[in-house]
Amino acid sequence: MFPPRLSPFLRANTLRSLQQTKMASGFFSSHFPGRPSLGSISSRLPTRPISRRPYSSGPYEPAYESSKRYLLYGFLAVNTGVFAYAMYVQEQARQGNVKPLIDYSKNFTLNYNGVVDDGRWWTMLTYSISHMGLAHFAGNMLSFYFLGEFIVSTPGIGPGKFVTLILGSALAGSVLGLVQRRETIKATGGRDMKRGLGFSGSVMGVSAVAACLYPRSKVALYGIVPIPLWGLVAGYFLYDGWFYNDKNASTGHAGHIGGLAFGLVYYLAALRGVTLPRRF
């Protein structure tokens, strides 16, 4: 239902150093194996904010940014821990003990009948911290880390709003994904045989907000074609929208659109006019 569609190589200029890294970002994974597609992208991240908070007369406190960075690392750590457990249950299954893998699938993957009929509502969030393939996991984590730097470096976005953006995007992705699966099941009959997993809904939400805050941040697609960040996100939206009803698609386009839509709505409702780093 939600396999990886993966992003690009990303070169980020941070405050401390110029880094270059390869990233294959998973935007939702379906079934357990993934098949990444790679591109190339370069982006300059915002410098450390030096402006004032919109709600305070005092200077922007480094501790405020630090708390958001701890959240960023915290989500990376949680995803890493769950991924390590996924590797363990898969190895157990290869050795003939399939029960841990079955239990993992029931509690850390998204399935329409699992939520509606079996009452596993918590999977509407737990699916988002689940990965079964290394490429999918690494890609999503790298994407989240670099895109999350835009949010971390924005003074007007506090830790609470950062958490709301991450979890809200994941939940919105699951809701739209389930709606899309319901329509498919009604048309074909039977049970939902697909399971969704991956942090891509949150990645899409974070990328949408980053594009709204810093639309003119330049990226070089495949290292050749320069486009603004907003153009990259718009391209993803058009791609997912085009294949939304493709019955043969292995990518969870509905989940992508849900996460991205939440990011856009949350920006318009709560983040417009936030304080940006002075150079922006």
pLDDT at 15: 31
Condensed to tens digits (0 to 9), the pLDDT of residues 62-87 reads 657 899 999 999 999 999 999 999 99
CA atoms of 197 and 199, how far apart (whole Å): 7
CA atoms of 67 and 277, how far apart (whole Å): 17
Pairing of the two strands 196-197 and 40-44: unpaired
Nearest to residue 202, comparing CAs of 167, 231, 251, 163?
167
Residue 165 above 70 pLDDT?
A: yes
Residue 265 above 90 pLDDT?
A: yes
Condensed to tens digits (0 to 9), the pLDDT of residues 106-157 reads 999 999 999 999 999 999 999 999 999 999 899 889 889 988 999 999 988 9
Per the model's pLDDT, the better-predicted residue between 99 and 55 turns out to be 99
Condensed to tens digits (0 to 9), the pLDDT of residues 29-50 reads 433 333 333 233 334 444 444 3
Beta bridge partners of 39: none
Residue 28 above 60 pLDDT?
A: no
The secondary structure of 74-91 as a DSSP string is HHHHHHHHHHHHHHHHHH
Residue 213 above 70 pLDDT?
A: yes
Per the model's pLDDT, the better-predicted residue between 175 and 219 turns out to be 175
Q: Which two tokens stand for residue 274?
A: 């936030």
Provide the residue ranges of all domains of the chain, joining segments of one domain with +: 9-271
pLDDT at 187: 78
Nearest to residue 5, comparing CAs of 159, 201, 178, 214?
201
Per the model's pLDDT, the better-predicted residue between 100 and 224 turns out to be 100
Condensed to tens digits (0 to 9), the pLDDT of residues 86-98 reads 999 999 999 999 9
CA atoms of 245 and 153, how far apart (whole Å): 37
Yes or no: is domain 9-271 CATH 1.10.10.10? no
Query: If you average pLDDT over residues 192-206, what whole number do you get?
Result: 91
Condensed to tens digits (0 to 9), the pLDDT of residues 214-263 reads 998 877 666 677 888 898 889 888 977 787 776 666 667 788 899 999 99
Q: Which two tokens stand for residue 201?
A: 């809904």
